[in-house]
Structure 1
Amino acid sequence: MFRIFPFLLIIAVLVAFYPRFDEKTNVDWDEYLGGPDRNHYSLLNQIDTNNVTQLKVAWSYAAPDTGQMQMNPIIVKGKLYGISSALQVFALDAATGQEIWRFGDPFKSGVSTSRGVTYWTNQQGDERILFTSGHWLYALNATTGKPIDSFGQAGRISLRTGLGESAKEKFVISNTPGTVFENLIIMPMRLSEGADAAPGHVQAFDIQTGKLAWVFHTIPQPGEYGYDTWPKNTWKNTDVGGANNWAGMAVDRQRGILFVPTGSAAFDFYGGNRKGKNLFANCLLALDARTGKRLWHYQFVHHDVWDRDFPSPPNLITVNHNGKRVDAVAQTTKSGHVLVFDRLTGKSLFPIKEVAVEQSKLPGESTWPTQPQPTKPAAFARQSLTEKDLNPYSKDHDSLVTVFKSLKKGYMAPPSKQGTLIFPGYDGGAEWGGAAVDPNGIMYVNSNEMAWVLTMVDTPKQSELAHLSEGAKTYTLYCSACHGPERKGNTKSGYPSLVDIQLRQSRDYVKNIVSNGKGMMPGFTTLKPEEKAALVAFLFGDEKQEATGVVNNKGKNPVIPYKTTGYNKFLDSQGYPAIAPPWGTLNAINLNTGEYVWKNVFGEYPELKAKGIPQTGSENYGGPVVTAGGLLFIAATRDAKFRAYNSKNGKLLWEYQLPAAGFATPSTYQVNGRQYVVIACGGTKLGTNKGNQVVAFALP
């Protein structure tokens, strides 16, 4: 018996820990961000802190088009599945990078960025790849890349299906892969952020048939919880929409709980037509994954007028809290906070207080008198700025001080006509790349430190537009906020000039962008064909500029009393941040205690480094991957470097100059006993060059 006991003990230990050492988990990266918990973590350890300096390029794949690639590749059974900047889905041999098949949307239904595809299989061996193009969700045969005809119609269904009649022609796409639970796929959606936004309801579809399974109304209907947090009949979607999940979700498959972070209601910066807290905008929702029933929610921003969307999928973690093991859900925010809740009850593990905030003075607006403010963990991005925090290296320091003094400032300071400093900015704090968490409860999150300026102006009255041609009116109402009244754009903030666009693009290309959007720009699907034609004629300089004498909004697009002057970063004349470094950081936070393990400046400007200026950090997009080999891999920065850090102490161990900036989250996997790390290099953001490479690294 004594001889048998040690053997039984070993068996018991192996059984207890079996799920953590599942062969599939240890080899593949078969879901977005590594798994349903979205923890970006791999048990692979062939590449470790001792040999990471030996990494070499194992293979590279050139996508058939160039531009921004945000995709996190998935790897299943030796095949890598990804999507190009122009939404062509491809399957590669994960050991060699050789293309196996490629599928391009034959309907050319959308131009957008995509963060990847979704893989699904069942016990019968049916394997599918699901992805979106425009408002369509496609199902492809994972072996052949051909559409599955039994899914919807000709292998596709519309993401507008469960949104109601009001969304029939509105802008609806998805940048982020859907979340699988059993035979369901629950889809994120990106919508317009103006008064023409569709409702952001959460929809689940049957993966085999494409039929709508359930809908959760993020803008509640009569009799539903939260209906009284909006004006009556807001759900009819006449001039309020949004409250959508665009960043992706996580799912606890054992418990059948879906965790859904939502964004702001639209219009983003004025809510006079949506008085109230506005549930379920800006919420972390826990839903029954089978039915869509609400289990609990937490709203982080009440009546959002700052575009404070939850920017990333939550992380499902287990921590030691007050001496107990707690299954928790952690959510990063644009404001640079981490929220940690009990997965079952929704109770916060760390104190969050409601604090009084300054109220809006814009006529018609009613901002909420208090807002949540987490007390622990400490924010991973600065929360306030003074004159001492302005860029000491800028030649424009005095003028920056003048601008800084003119702006409204403070925690959740409301939008204003004088200009309000938004810091952390519209892009975080945390961004869509998401955070990594290891089994010890250490979260690794990269952060932006960029200030933006939000300025509100009166929307032109109908009489003020009467002297303009039809195309000029359309441009003024829908385009000038980002591209400027003179069409010069704001290249420093990422908005291109439209001056002389006829020398650079064709009419068909511009018409397609107006209709379907591209990158940060939504498509204006509710504009009538004659309005689009007039707009393109205006942009191409061949529309006569005489007044029509009539201004008619045709009842299609609600006009709200204020608009913004655009998404403007607070920069100096050279395009550098107006605030002092660091402009980007990489953080390790112990979520068991809420204390920091380490914090690094992340990224650099090579030209400033050459002048002897210490490392400044930079804006960054895309997240990290953490491995059992003690490593953290991340690209994300404008300097186009791929880096590996010691995850325990933050020491930089290895870096590689990519062919283009890698604004994406990497993946790691193993094929034939060899571990690989792979990153998509698409560039274009932050003024970087375009790219089309998928690059995989391995040990020699």
Structure 2
Amino acid sequence: MTARTNGSNGLARVLPLSITGLSIAGLALAAASSCTPYPQPTDRDWRTYGGDPAGQRYSTLTQINRDNVAQLTEVWRFAAGDEGGVQTHPLVVGTTLYGYTSDQTAFALDAATGRELWRFAPGQTSGQAARGMTYWASARDERLFVSNASFIYALDPGSGEPVAGFGDGGRIDLREGLGRDPEQNAVFPTSPGTLFRDTLIVGFRTAENAPAAPGDIRAYDVRTGRLKWSFHTIPHDREVGHETWPAGAARTAGGANAWAGLAVDTRRGIVYVPTGSPVFDFFGSNRKGDNLYSDSLVALDAATGKRLWHFQAVHHDLWDRDFPSPPTLLTVTRGGRRIDAVAQTTKQGFVFVFDRVTGKPLFPIEERPVPAGDVPGETTSPTQPFPIAPAPFARQQLTEAMLTRRTPAAHADALARFRTMRSAGQFVPLSTDRDTIVFPGFDGGAEWGGSAADPRTGVLYVNSNDVPWYTRLVPNTVARDAGPGERAYRANCSSCHGADRGGSPPDVPDLTMVGSRLTAAAIAATIVQGRGRMPGFPQIAAADRAALVAWLASGGKAPVGDRREVTSTGGTAVREPYAISGYNKFQDIDGYPAVRPPWGTLNAIDLNTGRYLWKVPLGEYPELAARGMRNTGSENYGGPIATAGGIVFIGATIHDRKLRAFDSRTGRLLWTGDLPFAGNATPVTYSVAGRQYVVIATSGARDKKGPQGAAYIAFALPDRRGGRTAAAPAARARGQ
């Protein structure tokens, strides 16, 4: 797929915002109608992750609209844990809301009151993110598929009890059936599967270093749990794409997994799969070639798993530039013709748009030359794909002119450090001699919350992180007299936490004093189960895990012990030849991004034309706002939803703990609602008994300086039907 480009990689111009929505006339109308009932919506639930199988995150409800959204108030609250992150996009089926607590316990609530109906705790604990569930129903049966650790359970939605006839006692183990020892497979279904008829299609999260599971896409019978088909994202011998890997890679390579979620065209029977990077993330001497089907959007026959078409967005990925979001299916108009399309957002800030049947790009894509690497043993791809349109929704290259001017001291410090780094745009291979700027960062551009689309207009709404990160490659060597604990750390932990165990707080914790914060048992449990951003490492052999725990708990001063090489459970050495110096955010001396704002944005892109309708900052830092530095934007996790009432709802921002409502036509901020913790999740909207609600999961995990805990918060308009008033926010379900 080649094309020509003008080379533009700047941000789209912010269009003037017309004064609509909450106009003077609109305010007068709202005031005049304040004593009359709101328009009654047709009851509508939210029974699919992403709103529908197409992943549009769109609702036809209009009771809450541009003219009255400013009257939203909190109507119930459900406590969901004392610590840990909740990233759940809940489901609402009929009058019941389904979600997860911070320890991945599933629950059901009365969607109108927040009263708990049941909860399901399977026995094992999990520190993994749980972003959603899958609901299936036929004329005679219904099931709710939930995840915990490496398992998918089929529950009775009415009682929360496992369905005995599904899999093994009500669950399937995703570690099995991958052609490897299941005990070695770090497999976690953090995003829910999607449905095609009576088939549940799933991906999963896996380890970021070897041994990692191969990212097979698998389909299971919803009634029995029987495996129906598998698609090998690391092709087996003689399968199409195997030539892009070294011989025999399917037996040892890992990753290329679909962790972000899927979308399905139910009419055509096509499932769209965005895949991740191959292992190792930042060095690929063991995987020479383009490495299909990593970093690819793959269209599969949903009934058989047969590949229909694919597009690879990063060849031989060395930057962890996996697809971070589920695809979004929508229909656009091009040349007077309606085209069913699939849009895929990226960490680079690109949007790729394809004809969903043929895979033909709807905007040209150019393969551009990119810099070669200089690390011995590495073979980089000479070109990478760049879409001509839409323009990137995040900045692409950090320059001196873009450095922070927040204070003279902050600017001077950022400038001095910037001049020691490389900053040459996209796809610059990491070096061992100095830090390389990655902009947008490793969590840059789009994220797992997904995009929203208005099916009536073909407009895509996507939020973006717009801050730089940096890192370099460091030889992953150990002293000759190092014991098994230190060797286990080098093999499994140093790529994230660094050779010195210092991490990149708060995203990657400092482990130098972890023994003072956690017991040995807690450290061991975290290693096996993972926590938050960290995948679990069940593949580390028990003896090596015990040595690693002792070494960490002692601050790296445990007895040397024997000098044997660290092994996985199956006996395969796992130490990488290189690690990275850390996932380092480029911050100023006070901990704010070292680049000029905006640090996070919300964007509306007309995919009929590829042009931006508007771009606005998303979020702010309360302490900076108090000093007059408003609307800086901030890092954000979780996505938007759009409604026929003309609203885009989004939480996502870390520091200000707000849910916001924007005018979908102009980007004008219409309302903010206070949250107890950050709304690092995607909200939902639904109606029960003629009343529309907006619910978002909140948690404090990403802002350690803020309050800690987790809760689901529901908002609605004041209930004026028949003169009744909504229950006060203090009437909260505690979920005990």
TM-score class, shorter-chain normalisation, is over 0.9
Cα separation, 1, equivalents of 2:127 and 2:505: 20
Contact 2:484 2:544 in 1 (8 A): yes
Pairs within 5 Å for 1:112-511: 112-124=128-140, 126-237=141-252, 240-394=253-407, 395-410=409-424, 411-417=426-432, 418-439=434-455, 440-460=457-477, 464-492=478-506, 494-511=507-524
Match in the other structure for 1:6: none
Q: Deviations over 1:664-687 (max 9, x none)?
A: 000000000000000001121144
Match in the other structure for 1:689: 707
Contact 1:175 1:189 in 2 (8 A): yes
Contact 1:127 1:143 in 2 (8 A): no
Structure 2 segments unaligned to the other structure (5+ residues):
1-39, 719-736
Q: Deviations over 1:290-309 (max 9, x none)?
A: 00000000111111111011
Cα separation, 1, equivalents of 2:64 and 2:645: 6
Q: Deviations over 1:269-296 (max 9, x none)?
A: 0111111111100110000000000000
Note the C-alpha offset of 1:543: 8.4
TM-score (norm 1): 0.93
Q: Deviations over 1:294-350 (max 9, x none)?
A: 000011111111101111111110010111000010111111111110011000000
In structure 2, the residue corresponding to 1:577 is in which secondary structure?
coil
Q: Does the C-alpha gap of structure 1 residues 105 and 404 become closer, same or farther in structure 2, counting only changes over 3 Å? A: same
Match in the other structure for 2:32: none
Report the AA paired with residue 607 of structure 1: E
Contact 2:498 2:580 in 1 (8 A): no
Cα separation, 1, equivalents of 2:81 and 2:436: 43
Note the C-alpha offset of 1:474: 2.1
Note the C-alpha offset of 1:546: 4.2
List structure 1 runs of 4+ shifted beyond 4 angstroms.
Answer: 23-26
In structure 2, the residue corresponding to 1:406 is in which secondary structure?
coil
Contact 1:466 1:551 in 2 (8 A): no
Cα separation, 2, equivalents of 1:67 and 1:524: 19
Q: Does the C-alpha gap of structure 1 residues 563 and 78 become closer, same or farther in structure 2, counting only changes over 3 Å? A: same
Q: Deviations over 1:131-182 (max 9, x none)?
A: 1111111111101100111111111111123311255422110110110111
Cα separation, 1, equivalents of 2:386 and 2:500: 40
Note the C-alpha offset of 1:502: 3.5
Contact 1:36 1:250 in 2 (8 A): yes
Note the C-alpha offset of 1:63: 1.8
Q: Deviations over 1:42-96 (max 9, x none)?
A: 0000011111111111111112443211000110010001111100100000011
Contact 1:467 1:546 in 2 (8 A): no
Q: Deviations over 1:508-549 (max 9, x none)?
A: 221110111111112222211111111111222298644346
Note the C-alpha offset of 1:592: 0.4
Q: Deviations over 1:402-460 (max 9, x none)?
A: 22122222221111112211111111200001110002101111000111112101110
Report the AA paired with residue 270 of structure 1: F
Pairs within 5 Å for 1:63-78: 63-78=80-95
Match in the other structure for 1:657: 674
Contact 1:534 1:543 in 2 (8 A): no
Cα separation, 2, equivalents of 1:666 and 1:325: 30
* Pair 1:607 & 2:626 matched: no
Which stretch of the first structure deviates more once superposed, 495-504 or 538-547?
538-547
Pairs within 5 Å for 1:91-106: 91-106=108-123
Cα separation, 1, equivalents of 2:70 and 2:557: 63
Cα separation, 1, equivalents of 2:277 and 2:700: 27
Contact 1:468 1:545 in 2 (8 A): no
How many equivalent pairs are there? Answer: 670
Which stretch of the first structure deviates more once superposed, 521-530 or 476-485?
476-485
In structure 1, the residue corresponding to 2:184 is in which secondary structure?
coil
Q: Deviations over 1:603-625 (max 9, x none)?
A: 10111122222421100000011
Cα separation, 1, equivalents of 2:486 and 2:574: 18
In structure 2, the residue corresponding to 1:228 is in which secondary structure?
helix
In structure 1, the residue corresponding to 2:419 is in which secondary structure?
helix
Cα separation, 1, equivalents of 2:534 and 2:555: 24
Greater relative contact order (Cα 8 A, min sep 6): structure 1 or 2? Answer: 2
Corresponding residue to 2:697 among 680, 683, 686: 680
Match in the other structure for 1:4: none
Cα separation, 2, equivalents of 1:401 and 1:145: 56
Report the AA paired with residue 381 of structure 1: A
RMSD: 1.7
In structure 2, the residue corresponding to 1:341 is in which secondary structure?
strand
Contact 2:512 2:556 in 1 (8 A): no
Corresponding residue to 2:592 among 565, 571, 576: 576
Corresponding residue to 2:578 among 554, 557, 562: 562
Match in the other structure for 1:15: none
Pairs within 5 Å for 1:616-635: 616-635=632-651
Match in the other structure for 1:42: 59
Identity among equivalent positions (%) equals: 50
Cα separation, 2, equivalents of 1:481 and 1:251: 35
